[in-house]
Amino acid sequence: MFVPEVVLPPPGAARTAATQINADKVCVYLHSATEGGARLQRWTAPASWAGRRIGATTITPSGREEGHPKVTAQGPELELMVTPGRPIVLSVGGRLA
């Protein structure tokens, strides 16, 4: 499952203020009941991610593992190995050189 980051309204905003989507960050997750080890997952990234650095951080019980797993980009499609029960945060940064 690939889910974009949802950003809350700023403090003091009206109770009816809408949440926003951060298109530069997504959370990748496989349910922990999924059998087996890590699985290859593919995702078509938004056009706004083209030509930008993509970072990955795995969230584990002992903390965050920056730069893990490796993310491979083939055009707009991203590939990465996802371990069930270990969320991964993908985010984009500056333009590639």
Q: pLDDT by residue (tens digit) across 69-94?
A: 999 988 889 999 999 999 999 999 87
Domain 2-95 falls in which CATH fold?
Answer: Immunoglobulin-like (2.60.40)
pLDDT score of 97: 64
Strand-pair category, 77-82 with 72-74: antiparallel
Give yes or no for a contact between 18 and 9, defined as CB atoms under 8 angstroms apart.
Answer: yes
Which residue stretches of the chain have pLDDT < 70? 97
Tell me, what's the pLDDT at 92? 92
pTM here?
Answer: 0.82
Domain range list for the chain: 2-95
How far apart CA 9 and CA 11 sit, in angstroms, is: 7
What is residue 69's predicted lDDT score, i.e. its pLDDT?
Answer: 92
